[in-house]
Structure 1
Amino acid sequence: MAAKKALASFPKVLLDEVEKWGGRKQTGVSLRYMTKFGSQPTSRNLVFSAQFLHKELPIRIARRTLELQSLPFGLSQKPAVLKVRDWYLESFHDIRSFPEVKDTNDELGFTNMIKMIKVRHNNVVPMMALGVQQLKNDINPKARKLDEIHQFLDRFYMSRIGIRMLIGQHVALHDHNPQPDCVGCIHTKVSPMDVARNASEDARAICLREYGSAPDVNIYGDQCFTFP
């Protein structure tokens, strides 16, 4: 009931369009292609990139929106999840309302718009976590094996990474002073050791804050190895 009531605040034509775009197939984009394409961020390439995102982002956002509306165990009706769904609907509307990208001026306007969308979605992860917690508080503690929810969250977060990567890469290509060894937001000589070390330090910091102690983490491997 809450979900239907909240949806009533959005025009039916928008919801119908979400259904239509959510049924379309998204286009995969590899890091190799993004790196090669981004190595020459000419005005023409940036316009081409914006034209692609203008068509691709609504598909990906619509698919996630539809999933958010049909989650099991009543998760879709939790206030935090409704908030996330509304963010996706608003972002879908913003992109679909933006005129066709034809030139550099259009591209710059489009880029500013998707930058704002990226900021709008900054708190999706903690908000979804809050929604899951709201669900757990409402159900029988003995029935908290929510495998379907976990599977959804895995898909949802992976898709979110993809959307933010596409937006972030396009925006970063406007940087006239990129960091060394970077093409947009892609580091061409990333160190798995550094990534693992940073992740473990973040995890230890959370443990220390929440529990007062944290285990030591040993990372093994070639410290000089980098991708690709």
Structure 2
Amino acid sequence: MAAKKAIETFSKSLIEEVHKWGCFKQTGVSLRYMMDFGSKPTSKNLLISAQFLHKELAIRIARRAVELERLPCDLSQKPAVLKVRDWYLDSFRDIRSFSEIKNMNDEKEFTEVIKAIKVRHNNVVPTMALGVQQLKKDVDPKIINQDFVEIHQFLDRFYMSRIGIRMLIGQHVELHSPNPPPHVVGYIHTRMSPVEVARNAVDDARSICSRQYGSAPDVHIYGDPDFTFPYVPAHLHLMVFELVKNSLRAVEERYMNSDKDPPPIRIIVADGLEDVTIKISDEGGGIPRSGLRKIFTYLYSTARNPLDEHADLGVGDNVTMAGYGYGLPISRLYARYFGGDLQIISMENYGTDAYLHLSRLGDSQEPLP
């Protein structure tokens, strides 16, 4: 049914236009540029921003829509993937049917259009995860391994592009905020305290852990709470939350039936000249070396898959303690989006250290897939 819907809903001319726009070159922006440009949200700047997005978003969305048609192993035909492709085609059509942006009235209307696009794409990650699960259920694991690298590379490009699209839309929409808090430029906080963001992420992760297991190990944070640098707090929160959630689960499960107290998780924040590094250490038993290769792939999770248990999770916003095995690879993409990285080092039968590197320079261009 879904395949048929795609053909009926979208005209041949729209599909041709998507393919045409999918060949255009994307334009990357840096954190520093977004910060400098957004620090003066005058009408003129908002107009320039909307005109840039009118073209740039169409290119980025078209490129992904084209890729969604050409996935190996028939992944393109899975119902969940067809649903995502429909969202991308709808969004491309919405942007292209908006004529030129000439004045602030146009700008205001266009901002509403892209705000709606961002909401439409809210569930892209769980829905794509569902598509991959549908694929895993249907095909021989031997076949999947051959095309696995290609699927993984596609998902890396796809999710990295999604981070960029959401950042550009969110940044533009936030610049309309009538009374932004001090030091906030759109999504960017020019004086973000990594210790404070880590504290909030830890609180969120521990409350989920307590809900699931009835208790949560302690987390100790070391670092200067007064140290700040420009970054996107929402991105950092997501990354620290994912890493701490993994550590809490590992420690909780390792000490569940033990009479010993679970050892605390330690977070250390260090500010270097180039990078701010956040190290998250646990004594949750570690990961065997053979498993380390798999932790950044999209077809692997040590946890039970929530999509098997609740087939409708693909449309909800439920946060489970562990899920599609997407937390680590997506966190690494968020780190890399602004020139950082994420590394995991493990000692089997002891614990794991995660090193989250965040670039301080703010000059690196978006890595455009």
Q: Same fold (TM over 0.5)?
A: yes
Partner of 2:127: 127
Deviation per CA, 1:100-144: give whole Å up to 9, x if none.
Answer: 000011101101111111111111111111111111111224555
Is it true that 1:32 corresponds to 2:32 in the alignment? yes
Structure with more helix by fraction? 1
Per the alignment, do residues 128 and 17 of structure 1 end up closer, same or farther by CA in structure 2, a change over 3 Å counting? Answer: same
CA distance in 1, matches of 2:207, 2:137: 27
User: For 1:159, which of 136, 158, 161 is the aligned residue?
Assistant: 161
- Preserved CA contact (<8 Å) 2:26 2:59: yes
- Give the CA deviation at 1:71: 1.1
For the 8 Å contact 1:101–1:107, the answer to whether it is kept is yes
Tell me, what secondary structure is at the counterpart of 2:176?
A: coil
Using a 3 Å threshold, how does the CA distance of structure 1 residues 22 and 200 change in structure 2: closer, same or farther? farther
How big is the shift at 1:172?
0.7
State the shift of 1:219 in Å: 4.8
Number of residue pairs aligned between Structure 1 and Structure 2: 228
Structure 1 residues 214, 22: CA separation in 2 closer, same or farther (over 3 Å shift)? Answer: farther
Structure with greater contact order relative to length (CA < 8 Å, sep ≥ 6): 1
Cα contact 1:81–1:128 (8 A) shared by 2? yes
What's the counterpart of residue 107 of structure 2? 107
Aligned residue type for 1:76: S
User: Which digits, 9 at most, give the CA deviation of each residue in 1:139-198, with x for residues without a partner?
Assistant: 224555433222222221111011011111111111111122101121111233344444
Kindly indicate whether residue 192 of structure 2 is the aligned counterpart of residue 190 of structure 1.
yes
State the Cα deviation string for residues 47-88 of structure 1 (Å, max 9, x = none). Answer: 111111111100000011111111111111110110000000
The structure whose residues are more often strand, as a share, is 2
Question: What aligned pairs does 1:62-141 form with structure 2 within 5 A after superposition?
Answer: 62-141=62-141
Cα gap change, 1:149 to 1:218, in 2 (>3 Å): farther
CA contact (8 A) 1:47 1:104 kept: yes
Structure 1: distance between partners of 2:45 and 2:76 = 39
Partner SS, residue 188 of structure 1: strand
Specify whether residues 198 and 128 from structure 1 end up closer, same or farther in structure 2 by C-alpha distance, changes over 3 A only.
Answer: farther
Q: 1:75·1:81 contact (CA, 8 Å) conserved in 2? A: yes
Is 1:171 the counterpart of 2:173? The answer is: yes
User: 1:221 Cα shift?
Assistant: 4.0
Contact 1:3 1:76 survives alignment (8 Å): no
Q: Do the aligned partners of 1:3 and 1:69 also contact (CA within 8 Å) in 2? A: no
| Contact 1:21 1:58 (8 Å CA) reproduced | yes
Gaps of 5+ in 1: none
User: Does the CA-based 8 Å contact 2:193-2:226 persist in structure 1?
Assistant: yes
SS of residue in 2 equivalent to 1:102 = coil
- 148 and 225 in structure 1: CA distance in 2 versus 1, 3 angstrom threshold: farther
Amino acid across the alignment from 2:161: S
Indicate if the aligned counterparts of 2:2 and 2:83 stay in contact, CA closer than 8 A.
no
| Partner Cα distance (1:108, 1:64) in 2 | 26
CA spacing shift, 1:100–1:20, aligned 2, 3 Å = same
The TM-score with structure 2 as length reference comes to 0.57
Q: Could you tell me how far apart the structure 2 residues matched to 1:18 and 1:87 are?
A: 13
Question: What is the identity percentage for the equivalent residue pairs of Structure 1 and Structure 2?
Answer: 73
Which residue in 1 is equivalent to 2:333?
none
Find the aligned partners of 2:202 and 2:62 in 1 and give their Cα distance.
34
Structure 2's unaligned 5+ residue stretches are: 231-369
What's the secondary structure of 1:174's corresponding residue?
coil
How big is the alpha-carbon RMSD for the aligned residues of Structure 1 and Structure 2? Answer: 2.4
Give the secondary structure class of the aligned counterpart of 1:189.
strand
Tell which deviates more after alignment, 82-91 or 215-224: 215-224
Which deviates more, 178-187 or 207-216? 207-216
Q: Residue 140 and residue 95 in structure 1: after superposition, are their counterparts in 2 closer, same or farther (change >3 A)?
A: same
